[in-house]
Amino acid sequence: MDRSNKPSAIGLGASLPQPTLSIKDNIIEASLPTGQSVTVNLYGATVTSWKTGGQEQLFVSQKAHLDGSKPIRGGIPLVFPVFGPPPQNHATSPLPQHGFARNSNWEFLGKSSSEAPGRDSNQTDLTVKLDFGLSHSMLTDEFRQSWPYEFGLVYSVTLTTDSLETALQVRNEGQQNFEFQVLMHTYLNIADISDIRVKGLESKTYLDKTLRGTAHTESSPALAITQETDRIYQQLDPAVPIVVASAKDDQPLFSITREALTDVVVWNPWIEKAKGMADFGPDEAYKNMICVEAGSVSGWQTLEAGEAWEGGQSIKSRL
């Protein structure tokens, strides 16, 4: 591939190798000519693999159910329209934990490719975007009755040479306002939990779900995970990256920026909780994952009839 010239829209464009797409059963996989790939399961529109530099960047439990019988334990399950156990006396009360998006069958809306400026200004990088849709009419009868709002979701998964972007558009297609929460429950693949630090949280308020949801202020500029951790960090500036860095050399392994998502959940179940989850395995695999979950979960987004909302994250990997 000649990358020395910036291709004109038509001229060189035709000669550039194009992203490839494979669709098998309910699994969509796209690859870039430069080797990166992404896999999405239509069940939950769950991203189940992101490979770059020949390495898997996302953690998926070896015991994860991939047959649509249970939300997928790993990758990027999408949480909508409620985070955690639904509150009492709320429109989401009849729904299961984390809502219905991660356990519904989505449709594949199509692929689009584009050229973006490369890391080197003389280069052009290809990106591939996969779009997925879910609407009220596609839900199971049970979910439709539990949350009777006319909504439309478009979830876009974009693979670039050095990042994975996930973005959600929520549309209110009905006559009544509705409230929602949203979260991209990203399981990052790491070699050893004792070797990572989470940066970008210092001085931020968090609710500690392991301490009955009490509020605390983060004192550490580089958070080490040494026990069960389940915290909702709030009121973050989405443009400031949350960085998962190596404790050894301080080099970033992942860097996550967000749009319109001001909360970040940091979760690791640790050994006892890992053992207690039937779909988590092996037990010791809690050492190989850290969830850094970009979301809007502290309060509720209200969407008026006919309105739309959009939010997303961009994850850059060291590789």
Nearer to ligand G6P, 149 or 233 (CB): 233
Q: Is 231 marked as binding a ligand?
A: no
Catalytic annotation present for 293: yes
Which 8-state DSSP code applies to residue 121?
Answer: T
Q: Is 102 marked as binding a ligand?
A: yes
CA-based Rg of the chain, rounded to a whole angstrom? 20
Q: Is 97 marked as binding a ligand?
A: yes
Alpha-carbon distance values, 193 to 207, 229, 232, 245, 255 (Å): 22, 12, 19, 11, 16
Token look-up 């209110």 returns 172
Nearer to ligand G6P, 168 or 274 (CB): 274
**Catalytic residue chosen out of the listed positions 29, 173, 216, 293:** 293
Which 8-state DSSP code applies to residue 43?
Answer: B
**Catalytic residue chosen out of the listed positions 185, 218, 228, 272:** 185
Q: Least Å distance between CB 82 and ligand G6P?
A: 11
Q: Least Å distance between CB 118 and ligand G6P?
A: 35
Nearer to ligand G6P, 30 or 47 (CB): 47
Catalytic annotation present for 65: no
Nearer to ligand G6P, 210 or 301 (CB): 210
Binding site for ligand G6P (CB under 6 A): 84, 97-98, 209, 230, 265, 267, 291, 293
DSSP string computed for 56-78: E-B-B-TT---SSSS--SBSBPE
Residues 6 or more apart whose Cβ sits within 8 Å of residue 52: 35, 36, 161, 162, 317, 319
Residue 122 · residue 137 · CB < 8 Å: no
Q: Least Å distance between CB 265 and ligand G6P?
A: 5
Binding residue ranges for substrate: 73, 97, 102
Residues annotated as catalytic are: 185, 293
